[in-house]
Chain A
Amino acid sequence: MPSLPPIRPEDEAIAEKLRPEGAFDAPADVHDPVRAGYLLRLGDDALILGQRLGEWCGHAPSVEVDLSLSNLALDLIGQATLLLGAAGDADELAFKRDVLDFRNCLLVEQPNGDFARTMVRQLLFSTFQHMLYGRLSASSDQAVREVAAKAVKEVAYHRELAAEWVIRLGDGTDESRERMLDGLGWCWRFVPELFEVDEELEAAIGCGIAADPRAIEADYRMAIADVLTAATLPVPADQRPILGGRRGHHSEHLGHLLAVMQYLPRTYPDARW
């Protein structure tokens, strides 16, 4: 069974439009560092979480869940291809950058742990991404606008699926509840970073490319609390936030992920497939 989804004509049209004219091999930040930096944040979030979810392939609790998680991964990697492609050469950016140059948030690089932790991570991130993409359909940048408009439907599904699982596992057996609590404890520290606005993001918000995450934080916390309540799980107390992913200060886990993801194109730079 082929594992890749069909490339639809509309996807090709979007990819074609996003290709920067005559600048295919130029370093991303020659053009507009604020725009490229924001595209890297969005693109790296999608890429890294897509790679993480791909690690479940062949290991999920059932073949149906295996397919669910692979579908999410492929959606995210598709988004990353478009977003990084708008910042420069998507393959170069994905496979030739080192860990300090990645701009993803720390939440998405966290190890899968068990299925419960993976689903908590998905709920916490997809809810954020869904609300953010909703706002980005009004971005001043055409590429951001178009990717957000296309991806918001995909992410709506990710968010719903994750919520379904969090509710079932939280309100399931003693063991599934225990594992949910552990996963929530692991992931909760990385939520504040989603809403952090540094100078770089401030500049992108200023020129209308980016959406201000602080504007969705209250809605986000309410939406998460609703799911946790339905799952009979307590909303965790806020801990000391862990920040730094947007500046390239990553946890040790990202380096291991990149080693696996980048091994082939770095070892065989001329490989074509």
Chain B
Amino acid sequence: MSDWPLWEVFVRSKGGLAHRHFGSVHAPDAELALRHARDTYTRRQEGVSLWVVKSSDIVASDPAQAGELFEPAADKVYRHPTFYDIPDVVKHI
């Protein structure tokens, strides 16, 4: 319905994992937004927990500011921990 607000849907796919953004639904209120999210995004066992957040409550960065926000990180390769030799015996890192 065109007059229903938009809600962003976050799904935890299994215990221990973080909620991840899955998409959005229209719904007249929070309770029905949860049900719409359940019916739209978890009908094939995709999740064990749901969050919905009113899209208008999300504060987003301005795409026009992408240059000053994100570009300075582009040439700071030393911020990546990629300069270590990992011994073969270390499996999980």
A interface list, Cβ under 8 A from B: 5-6, 8, 61-65, 67-68, 71, 161, 164, 168
Contact = CB atoms under 8 A, between A and B. Distances in A.
Contacts of A64: 25-27, 36, 39-40
Contact of A161 (B4, B35, B45): B35
B82 to A, nearest CB: 40
Nearest to B7: A64
Contacts of B40: 63-64, 67
- Determine which residue in A5, A67, A164 has the highest number of CB atoms from chain B within 10 A of its CB, and name it: A67
B1 A62 contact: yes
Contact of B36 (A5, A6, A68, A168): A68
A226 B31 CA distance: 19
B43 A71 contact: yes
B44 interface: yes
Contacts of A5: 43-44
A5 B45 CA distance: 9
A164 B43 contact: no
A168 B32 contact: yes
Contacts of B4: 62
Contact of B31 (A6, A67, A164): A164
Contacts of B1: 61-62
Nearest to A165: B32
A8 B44 CA distance: 10
Contacts of B26: 62, 64
Interface extent on B, as a size class? 10 to 19
A54 to B, nearest CB: 15
A67 B27 CA distance: 13
Interface string B29-64: 101100110011001110000000000000000000
Contacts of A168: 28-29, 32
A6 B44 contact: yes
Nearest to A161: B35
Given A61-B1, A64-B25, A168-B28, A71 B39 contact: yes
Contacts of A65: 36
A234 B60 CA distance: 46
20 contacts: A5-B43, A5-B44, A6-B44, A6-B45, A61-B1, A62-B1, A62-B26, A64-B25, A64-B26, A64-B27, A64-B36, A64-B39, A64-B40, A67-B36, A67-B40, A67-B43, A68-B39, A71-B43, A168-B28, A168-B32
B86 to A, nearest CB: 40
* 5 nearest A-B residue pairs (beta carbon): A64-B36, A68-B39, A67-B39, A62-B1, A64-B25
B32 A164 contact: yes
Nearest to A167: B31
Interface string B1-40: 1001000000000000000000001111101100110011
